[in-house]
Amino acid sequence: MNTPRIFPQGVDGLLVRFGDVLDDETNARALQFAEVAAGLGGVLEAAGGLTSVYVRFDPVVGRASVEQTVSAALANEGQAEAQPSRLWKVPCCFAGDYAPQLAEAAELAGVTPGVAVTELCAEPVRVMAIGFAPGQPYLGLLPDHWNIPRQTNLTAEVPQGALTVAVRQLVLFANPSPTGWRQVGRTGFRCFDMDRPEAFALKPGDLMQFDAVSAVEFQSLLNAPMGGAVLS
């Protein structure tokens, strides 16, 4: 196990990094420590990411004191335990205009578009972090050959619900956004909706499995709650 390192992240924050490479163990450690860090004295909020934990503290308490508290908690870090997960089944259209970069992404992964869709739907992927935009999941990990780079030039805008891929992960966009990730599908999933009792749909650890639907089916699901996604 890597020894976690602590860095400053702004005048009122610090970052605890558990590793430089994303794997399930490093991610599990980060998510578990985020829960611990949130309860520490002087800490205003903590968030678990892919390989790190962001901690925001009260500068009146001071960095030195908070770092000490965080270090002490890290020294007692327990074995990361698998948490029971919820499974979301999410209809996704991988056809035509809904998947503008599927062919390109599949080629980079060394498979045909058809095989790519089969692979992306074969197994559930896990919410490894929520971030970038409200409720937006980073999902993974995909098999090794999906370790494809981000684009150097940004796509000007992917739509809300876009399913994108890069570096063995999928990101399901909460809002229209520019991105360097390639859009391979489109869902009607709303990651964030203030009008729902639970505004943020997902939490880290949730599983998500995509179900390929036709463009016609996708259209009919667009106005369904959660774009036809079902939570079990």
Q: Name the residues that contact another protein, by CB under 8 A.
A: 7-13, 15, 17, 20-22, 34, 44-52, 54, 56, 59-60, 62-63, 129-136, 138, 149-150, 152-154, 167, 174-175, 177, 180, 191-192, 194, 199-200
The Cβ of residue 169 has, within 10 Å, a number of other Cβ atoms equal to 21
Non-local (6+) Cβ contacts of 67 within 8 A are 6, 14
Q: Which is nearer to another protein, 23 or 217 (CB)?
A: 23
Instruction: Compare residues 49 and 185 and give the one whose CB is closer to another protein.
Output: 49
CB of 212 to another protein, least distance (A): 26
Residue closer to another protein by CB (options 68, 112) is 68
Token representation of residue 224: 């369904």
Burial state string for 207-232 with b = 16 or more CB within 10 A and e = fewer than 16: bbbbebbeeeebeebeeeebbbbeee
Q: How far is the CB of 157 from another protein (least distance, A)?
A: 12
We find the least distance from the C-beta atom of residue 43 to another protein, in angstroms, to be 11
What is the nearest approach in angstroms of another protein to the Cβ of residue 59? 5
The continuous run of DSSP H or E covering 25 comes out as helix 24-38
Minimal distance, residue 167 CB to another protein, in Å: 7
Nearer to another protein, 82 or 194 (CB): 194
CA distance 159 to 177: 7
Neighbouring C-beta atoms of residue 70, cutoff 10 Å: 24
Residue with tokens 């948490």: 83
Nearer to another protein, 85 or 200 (CB): 200
